[in-house]
Structure 1
Amino acid sequence: MLHLTDIQLQDNKVFLSMLSHVLSVDGFYFSTTYDLTHTLQRLANTSPEFQEMSLLERADPRFVWNGHLLREFAAQPEIHRFATPVMHGFITMHSCSINGKCFDWLLVSRRSCFRAGVRYYVRGIDSEGHAANFVETEQIVHYKGSKASFVQTRGSIPFFWSQRPNLKYKPKPQISKSVNHMDGFQRHFDSQIISYGKQMIVNLVNQKGSEKPLEQTFAKMVNSMANGMVKYIAFDFHKECSRMRWDRLQILVDQLAEQQDEFSYFLVDSDGKIVTQQEGIFRSNCMDCLDRTNVIQSLLARRSLQAQLQRLGVLHVGQRIEEQADFEKIYKNAWADNANACAKQYAGTGALKTDYTRTGKRTQWGLIMDGWNSLVRYYKNNFSDGFRQDAIDLFLGNYSVDEVEPASPLHVKKDWKFLALPIIMVVAFSMCIICLLMAGDTWTETLAYVLFWGSASFGTFAIILYNGGSSDAVHISKYLGVEALIMELL
């Protein structure tokens, strides 16, 4: 440290704060005795030599978030025992009882460190076929020595597209026209088939508006690939479930039932004998692979769990999980917590639609909380996620600090317009409070009024300061896409 200049010392403090910012996010897990980076099925199909390896050697590199920090340890086998892989995601464990039979139920989500980042800044795939916000979620049951698991994945639509923040609530996705999409697309699914077997893509994006080209391109590329191991189904989540028709999700579950029965699940008995293996996987996605995706994954996981518990003898023939009130509460809350964890790590706020995951229905309070989280996401995506993305890239080694570098990227002169942001936000918040006092009689009118005019007021000041734009509130609200927000919430 003594050889650093004053400027480098200041930069060093900033870099340390960036690392601290990444580590302050909940969801880092490690074990000194168990390999958290692999599913039960992968571990059961390994060789004795693999079992003798150190945790660092055998870990799945996709889910080792401190891999860059351990690079010097990896080159020295004699100190591997001191190197502990760290996973990022979500883990919950519950001791449960149904019909007087006790079992352990676990939910594990593993976030990939390849193409890692934050919402809007990281979308699609990279040249190696790694998808943004890729998460492997495993549901595990332990009962009298037997173990069962069901694995699903989520990940960004796997071709080259972007959705850069531009003050709009929902920036228009842009599909790259200068690259060969099929190369990365093929690499993505080749690796997925090797890891998981057959692929059932469940695409939940809107089939109209700005999301429509993404759905059409995805379907077209699956057809062009002509791989019998990959199947595709599109389900317009927002259209099908509009006006609180959440029962219509069963339509999708029923459509996938035959495929799910074919994929089966992993089961090993108390003697260590493999009874069944999972032959394929559901790869779900929406735009962010957060809210809509988590709802569908929880429904598919429940259906698998129903079959597992019946086979293990925990549930009697004809009994359903939904009828077990105590366990159902644990199940729903765990999946809602999983949604919140993944959302905070990618989007910076808790997930939307968790009231449905927790209670099985949409509530007025849930809609209000979704509105609040959406506005917080809007702020973070536009004004603070750049720092979060830089911090993640630094932590993962995507950017390396070079002390002989003449100028640090930290010393980029900020535009005066960014200094006006606190004033903008104070004015916008004040307008929202005024709107609350002047809003309509019903909660829907209140929500729409606050979102429309509150965001319009924010947009007015933002556009004036940033672009010298129009001060017409209606024009600004349309520019910001507030109407899309209201439709999404309702």
Structure 2
Amino acid sequence: MIVSRSDSRFARGYYVIGSNESETRFRVFKIDRLEPYELKIYHDEVEYTSSEMRELLRRIKEAAKSSSKGTKSEEIPIKCALGIAGFVRFFEGYYMILVTTRKRVAQIGPHFVYKVLESHLLYIPNDEVKPASHPDEQRYVKLFQNVDLTSNFYFSYGYELTQTLQYNLALSKPDASEIEELEIDSDKKIIGIIQQSEKKFVWNDYLLQPTRDVLSKEWTITLIHGFIQQVCLNVVGKPVYLTLIARRSQYYAGTRFLKRGSNCKGQVANEVEIEQIVNDASLTHFHENHYTSYVQLRGSVPGFWSQDISKMVPKPQITIDQSDAFAYVAGAHFRSLLKRYGSPVIVFNLVKKKEKKRHENQLTDILKDAISYLNQFLTKEQQIIYTACDMARVSKKKDVLHLLHHLSEKILDKTGIFHNKKNNSLQTGVIRTNCVDCLDRTNTAQFAVFKCALERQLCSLGIIEQKTPDANSHAADILEDMMEDLGDTLAIQYGG
């Protein structure tokens, strides 16, 4: 994509020219630079060939020269870009956010996934109509640029990264009128119905709003924030792709200690959806290849609680800021999980059970009371399942990983895994893991679940036989390294 400027006294605008990778098909739209405050975009719906685009640019240049009545006019290439991340305005005119450099990090089917390496902020209004300088404009620009787009932001041109593989390959896309409903299959398991694009994970959603009704989706890119890593494994002589995708929620986002619990809408702090995809690396097409996936969730305990960081202590005291006797906040949170993932929702609580001084276990009381109250109003199929493990206490008597493996097997029996080539092989429900920070302990527990899921995924693909732990021991070691990288990345993001 090339952004060009047409300069003349009376015709000033940015012409954005987009093409496919082979540069055989082109489209164009114009941004009016004579409007100081509003964003005016003129989108040409016509698709051009290479020769037609050259002719169109020649005509634009001639029109600019004609309107300038002999004054100097030229078409100047401004910036080559790989996608538009959105538009933003502070006190003066609009800026266009361009992604200029990328790095390929994964391939899902025929689609590549990229990490943003460089971006550019392009000011749109012309100098002749530029509004009077506002004293705070540059301060807000610098604050905006503090959000580093090169820090673990990802996008794909053809694959919907905000959705799970199961949704993209298996579940039908409902109309907006169906979003509030829950669809039940013949086995009475509820499969969550979700929108085509999950707004929760679109970090540039606000920036894309000015173009939503003007530009087609092919012009803009959807950014997710989190972690993506893909490794090609050799399992008993067969190439296998192991992919981890972590999607951070844009709602109630913030750094550790400043964001705890949830807001009044049930959106929790440090909420991250993590998906493990395993597929045959020798094939790329979705309709030919076998794909399996498993999804987990982590997030803060839903409720109104915080920690006072005014005192420099290793563990700031947990404070319950407001009681929620009717579990309104927790109800809103778990309702959203039922809509997206279906049932059962399994809550895996890793908070300490017994302490000399009451601290973490306050959160356990909030969580257990809320689940107990909500289950009164849910059907048998929708019941929220609560399980807990005090890892520090268990480690004194038992092997923690062995216990986590045992619990993980039970959880996977309830939720199942997704396999696109097997009938009724869907993941129904989700495991939601939490500790206090949802970092170290949570990462260990989620690794244990993913390790069990990996064995089932390899079995489902026919690569290994069941109960052959030695066959996938190398894959488990690689998964452990990947989960360590994921945990470190999420810890830095949440730590600020």
SS across alignment from 1:120: coil
**Greater C-alpha Rg:** 2
Return the alpha-carbon distance in structure 2 between the equivalents of residues 325 and 105 of structure 1. Answer: 14
Contact 2:253 2:269 in 1 (8 A): yes
Return the alpha-carbon distance in structure 1 between the equivalents of residues 460 and 205 of structure 2. Answer: 39
Matches within 5 A, 1:317-356: 317-320=466-469, 324=472, 326-348=474-496
Offset from partner CA, 1:204-242 (integer Å, 9 cap, x none): 111223111111221111111124420111211222235
Return the alpha-carbon distance in structure 2 between the equivalents of residues 236 and 178 of structure 1. Answer: 25
Identity value in percent: 30
Matches within 5 A, 1:87-106: 87-106=224-243
Offset from partner CA, 1:401-441 (integer Å, 9 cap, x none): xxxxxxxxxxxxxxxxxxxxxxxxxxxxxxxxxxxxxxxxx
Which residue pairs with 1:132 in the alignment? 269
Contact 1:115 1:132 in 2 (8 A): yes
Alignment partner of 2:385 out of 231, 246, 249: 231
Return the alpha-carbon distance in structure 2 between the equivalents of residues 3 and 41 of structure 1. Answer: 49
Return the alpha-carbon distance in structure 2 between the equivalents of residues 25 and 115 of structure 1. Answer: 22
Q: Alpha-carbon deviation of 1:45?
A: 3.7
Which residue pairs with 1:119 in the alignment? 256
Which residue pairs with 1:247 in the alignment? 399
Which residue pairs with 1:82 in the alignment? 219
Contact 2:408 2:452 in 1 (8 A): no
Contact 1:117 1:133 in 2 (8 A): yes
Contact 1:73 1:80 in 2 (8 A): no
- Residue 184 (str. 1) matches residue 329 (str. 2): yes
Q: Which amino acid aligns with 1:140?
A: I
Return the alpha-carbon distance in structure 2 between the equivalents of residues 330 and 186 of structure 1. Answer: 38
Which residue pairs with 2:200 in the alignment? 62
Q: Alpha-carbon deviation of 1:110?
A: 0.5
Matches within 5 A, 1:296-445: 296-320=445-469, 324=472, 326-348=474-496
Contact 1:268 1:275 in 2 (8 A): no
Q: Which amino acid aligns with 2:314?
A: Y
Q: Alpha-carbon deviation of 1:168?
A: 2.0
Offset from partner CA, 1:353-385 (integer Å, 9 cap, x none): xxxxxxxxxxxxxxxxxxxxxxxxxxxxxxxxx
Return the alpha-carbon distance in structure 2 between the equivalents of residues 298 and 250 of structure 1. Answer: 12
Q: Give aligned pairs, total.
A: 332
Contact 2:419 2:426 in 1 (8 A): yes
Which residue pairs with 2:409 in the alignment? 257
- Residue 151 (str. 1) matches residue 295 (str. 2): yes
Return the alpha-carbon distance in structure 2 between the equivalents of residues 95 and 165 of structure 1. Answer: 43
Which residue pairs with 2:38 in the alignment? none
Return closer, same or farther for 1:178/1:34 CA change in 2, 3 Å cut-off.
same
Offset from partner CA, 1:109-144 (integer Å, 9 cap, x none): 100001111111111111111111111100001125
Q: Alpha-carbon deviation of 1:199?
A: 0.7
Q: Alpha-carbon deviation of 1:58?
A: 3.3
Which residue pairs with 1:201 in the alignment? 347
Q: Which amino acid aligns with 1:127?
A: C
Which residue pairs with 1:478 in the alignment? none
After superposing on structure 2, the runs of 4+ consecutive aligned residues of structure 1 that deviate more than 4 Å are 1-5, 178-181
Which residue pairs with 2:308 in the alignment? 164
SS across alignment from 2:292: strand
Which residue pairs with 1:443 in the alignment? none
Alignment partner of 1:13 out of 128, 132, 138: 138
Q: Alpha-carbon deviation of 1:46?
A: 4.0
Return closer, same or farther for 1:24/1:174 CA change in 2, 3 Å cut-off.
same
- Residue 27 (str. 1) matches residue 152 (str. 2): yes
Q: Which amino acid aligns with 1:165?
A: I
Q: Alpha-carbon deviation of 1:3?
A: 4.3
TM-score by length of 1: 0.64
Q: Which amino acid aligns with 2:338?
A: I
Contact 1:125 1:159 in 2 (8 A): yes
Q: Which runs of 5+ in 2 are unaligned?
A: 1-91, 93-129, 176-194, 284-288
Contact 2:295 2:430 in 1 (8 A): yes
Return the alpha-carbon distance in structure 2 between the equivalents of residues 223 and 48 of structure 1. Answer: 33
Q: Which runs of 5+ in 1 are unaligned?
A: 51-56, 349-490
Which residue pairs with 1:294 in the alignment? 443
106-115 vs 260-269, greater mean Cα deviation: 260-269
- Residue 39 (str. 1) matches residue 164 (str. 2): yes
Offset from partner CA, 1:295-318 (integer Å, 9 cap, x none): 100111110111121222211343
Q: Alpha-carbon deviation of 1:263?
A: 1.1
Return the alpha-carbon distance in structure 1 between the equivalents of residues 304 and 210 of structure 2. Answer: 33
Return closer, same or farther for 1:142/1:238 CA change in 2, 3 Å cut-off.
same
Q: Which has the higher contact order (CA 8 A, sep 6+)?
A: 1
Return the alpha-carbon distance in structure 2 between the equivalents of residues 320 and 113 of structure 1. Answer: 38
Return the alpha-carbon distance in structure 2 between the equivalents of residues 210 and 48 of structure 1. Answer: 44
Return the alpha-carbon distance in structure 1 between the equivalents of residues 302 and 461 of structure 2. Answer: 37
Q: Which amino acid aligns with 1:220?
A: D
Contact 2:304 2:323 in 1 (8 A): no
Higher relative strand content: 2
Contact 1:107 1:139 in 2 (8 A): yes
TM-score by length of 2: 0.63
Higher relative helix content: 1
Contact 1:25 1:345 in 2 (8 A): no
